[in-house]
A and B are shown apart, each in its own frame.
Chain A
Amino acid sequence: MIEVDLAILGAGPAGLAAAGEAVAHGLRVAVVDDNPRAGGQYFRQPPAQFRRDGGSWFDKEATRVAELLRVLDHPSITYLPDTVVWDVPAPDTLAVAGGERSGRVRGRALLIAAGAHDRPVPFPGWTLPGVISAGGAQNLLKGNRIVPGRRIVVAGNGPLLFVVAASLVRAGAEVAAVVEAAPINRRLLHAWPSMLAAPKILRQALDYRLSLLRAGVPVRTGMTVVAARGADAVQDAAIAPIALDGSVDRAVSETIACDALVVGFGLTPSVELLRLIGCELGYNRGRGGWLAVRSDRMETSVANVFAAGDGAAIGGVEIALLEGRLVGLEVAARLGRAGNAEQRRAALRDQLDRTDKFRRAIEAIFAGPSHYLGLLTADTVVCRCEEVTHGELQARQAEALDSMIQLKSTTRAGMGRCQGRNCMATLASIVSEASGTPIAGLNYPRTRPPVRPIAIGDLLHEPIPPPDLPADPHLPRRQNAS
């Protein structure tokens, strides 16, 4: 058992910033991350063996990254890379496993900074080779310097589309079109003033937009991909208008030839650990869906369990860094190590408020359709792991087996390797539309450990005391509980 003051899940911007702040105040900190290298998604680093020539646009954040990563060398830090947090057996304990090591990390406070994943939106052909998620495309670019195709369509909803499209252009790909579901053009004017609140991020955003303009990339707004087609891999994408109520007009669809289709309908916080701990969650579509309910100190509804960054609510890298620092400061203050925390807290809060103003403007511009169920046909696969189609779900609904739990248990949707990450949101949307119950009011299947699939053998390295075996296995066993 590793015992520290602050145990952090996630070595991304929020986790690293929290660790930096905490060690600066003399706390002992553990940082657990399942990646081989720290940085999270935004600061994703290529493998150490890669030779880099420097000076490319990839390295524009090099200084910030170096500064952020330096904390991992601090003597008060226990850094566990390549390590999965698979369970939270108590609200102060992370169960960890990686390689030849498994066991528990206990903290006087926990920070869950688990990051986000792409919100999955199924449509005909989304399982074809060559169709990849926006987050996946960014990972390939940042982590492996790989461009996923020669002629690429980037489609979906949200600012990440433009970031990915610009990165692809800069990396040398032809972006055939950016297809954005929200009618962003007519909202831009209205949102300008608030965006001036964060001039640095605004400049970056303009920079992305400029790259696309220079490359002559057409940006189609109020449109969505409705199908990916191809024999063994994607050969073209069909796009059609989509209204904010989710209705799709397939009659006026058009086709764009491509050899890769990058799809991103926004990010959704990875709240599985928070669910497992029992933290209260709220539903806010604009910030990614289910998110952590937090105090202004970033504390969840469970005492001394904090959540920060995109894993708590989608806000982007700058907000993640500020929230992380606030958590580090707060935990230090609670342990009586922060001295006068008030001034620093006020400064961080002030920056956070200004950045949040920018974020809200972006959120308003990109507010998308209420659902994408109009993209589903009867044979569209909704659950990829168990290959459950929309038609099968409709058949169960017709049999009055129509709750999320009944749909899951009668079709196996959500029971495969991805543990529902790729289909639960769609299932919720389907049930919500059919029943009229808002998503926030739906009864979700419970989240269970392991939070990530993990080899059984990897869990068995921790020495634990021998069990009490039942004398008569038939008799009630509850007394043997631990």
Chain B
Amino acid sequence: MSSLPTDTDVLVIGAGIAGLCTALYLARAGRTVAVIDRGEPWGDASGANAGTLSVQIKRPEVLNITRRAVELWQGFKAEFGIDVGFGRPGGLRVATNEREIDMLRRSQVEQRELGLDTEWLDGNRLRDLAPWLGPTVTAATLCDWDAYSSPLQAGHAIIQGARHAGVAILGAAAATAIAEVSPGYRVTTGAGTITARVLVIAAGAWSGEAARMLGIDLPVSADVNMLSVTEPTAPLLDRVVTHIGGILSLKQYPNGTCLIGGGWQGRGGLSTGVKEIGYENLLHNLRVAANVVPALARLRLVRSWAGFEGVVPDALPLFGPLPGRAGVYVNACARGGYSQGPALGHLMAELITSGRTSLPMERFAPKRFAA
């Protein structure tokens, strides 16, 4: 692994999807960029998430960002020459009772007003399209934007793609102190000291910690999301499946494995670093999955794990300048940040190089939490 340069135009803290995509597009715009990570690059949420690139489950505020991101995701294989495991089979967002059907209807209307059209499915049409759904599923919306990628393959591709663009990426290099110098900042890390004109905090759940080194409080907390993967099996389901209640995400990858998520919480927390399976919540997660797709019950579970996801109280992205610290930006905690990552990285590079963004991003500025 390379060593840390002593000076750079931009230093990105956090080698997950937000940080690496920001770095990639900045390097392509001609900046020298270094990315440091407290652990292994791509080692936390970006590598531990479900790989769901679903547009219709997103909050209305980020629909356009997510659509732009799916387009970028779609081009990554050609761009990097390394497969990111992207597939766009479209997604079904399911409902299993009257209350959920009502929620699904309202969400569909809201999305239509924002320019996202989904197709309402129930009765025979739903059964014909998805005979693998269980009898408890009575309605669904079909969104042809919904996609997936493989977090593991994507990590390989994006790390190599950023390196080829000239980005220096260094793991085991946690920032321990940040001092203001003129012009810019000097950051002390576990692997040496580096000076940068511009800092980008893209440290996901650890972004609050990084901002605190600059004396700024950001209300970042961490969910401990659980995921499970089955053994490979013959083709079983041919859509990305999500749930209107937000309690299930499910897809089958081309290698035949099925990935089951849904934001069920495990044990642990950021302060202890513990992220373990929560026994009863895992059983709830598996039960929901087996209710929606009964054939899952006979598949063997191979591995369950948990990962931290940084989130702020309104669950919208932290995107923009850090208030009170010139030249420091935040790109973190987007809620489903894996799916939005490429677009948020691109937009952040625009913001840093031109001061403007091609989508309206003001509402996501960290200053909304400045007391």
Contact = CB atoms under 8 A, between A and B. Distances in A.
Interface of A: 87, 89, 95, 104, 396, 399-403, 405-406, 409-410, 412, 415-417, 419, 446, 448-450, 453-457, 459-460, 462, 464-465, 467, 469-470, 473-478, 480-482
A481 B43 contact: no
B297 A460 contact: yes
A482 B156 contact: no
Interface stretch (B124-132, B174-182, B274-282): B274-282
Interface string B171-194: 000000000000000000000000
Interface residues of B, number: 54
A477 B263 contact: yes
B40 interface: yes
A464 to B, nearest CB: 5
A400 B163 CA distance: 11
A453 B315 contact: no
Interface string B8-52: 000000000000000000000000000000001011000100000
Contacts of A406: 40
A473 B40 contact: no
A455 B297 contact: yes
Given A456-B286, A478-B265, A481-B266, 15 more contacts: A87-B279, A104-B279, A399-B160, A401-B156, A449-B277, A450-B303, A456-B289, A456-B300, A457-B298, A460-B283, A469-B247, A475-B315, A476-B312, A476-B313, A482-B278
Contact of A474 (B153, B246, B284): B246
Contact of A403 (B40, B296, B300, B312): B40
B155 interface: yes
B163 to A, nearest CB: 8
Interface stretch (B108-116, B218-226, B339-347, B361-369): B218-226
B166 interface: no
A426 to B, nearest CB: 19
> Looking at chain B's contact residues, is the secondary structure mostly helix, strand, loop, or mixed?
mixed
Contacts of B246: 470, 473-474
Given A403-B40, A416-B302, A449-B304, A474 B245 contact: no
Contacts of B299: 455-456
B77 interface: no
Contacts of A474: 59, 246, 315, 335
Contacts of A89: 277, 279
A401 B159 CA distance: 9
A482 B265 contact: yes
A481 B267 contact: yes
Interface of B: 1-2, 40, 42-43, 47, 59, 152-153, 155-156, 159-160, 221-224, 230-231, 245-247, 263, 265-267, 269, 277-284, 286-287, 289-290, 296-305, 311-313, 315, 335
Contacts of A457: 290, 297-298
Nearest to B315: A474
Nearest to A409: B152
Contacts of B40: 403, 405-406
B277 A464 contact: no
Given A453-B300, A459-B286, A481-B278, A410 B247 contact: no
Contact of A459 (B43, B222, B283): B283
Contacts of B266: 481
Contacts of A459: 283, 286, 301
A478 B269 contact: yes
B300 A470 contact: no
A455 B152 contact: no
Contacts of B282: 449
Nearest to B228: A456
A453 B286 CA distance: 14
Contact of A402 (B1, B2, B284, B304): B1
A454 B303 CA distance: 10
B277 A448 contact: yes
Max chain A Cβ within 10 angstroms of own Cβ: one of B267, B300, B313: B300
Contact of A87 (B2, B223, B224, B277): B277
A456 B265 contact: no
A470 B100 CA distance: 13
9 contacts: A104-B279, A448-B277, A455-B301, A456-B300, A457-B290, A460-B287, A464-B283, A473-B263, A474-B246
Max chain A Cβ within 10 angstroms of own Cβ: one of B47, B245, B284: B284
A464 B280 contact: yes
Contacts of A402: 1
Nearest to A403: B40
Contacts of B160: 399
A450 B305 CA distance: 10
A470 B290 contact: no
A81 to B, nearest CB: 20
Contacts of B277: 87, 89, 448-449
Contact of A460 (B2, B263, B265, B290): B290
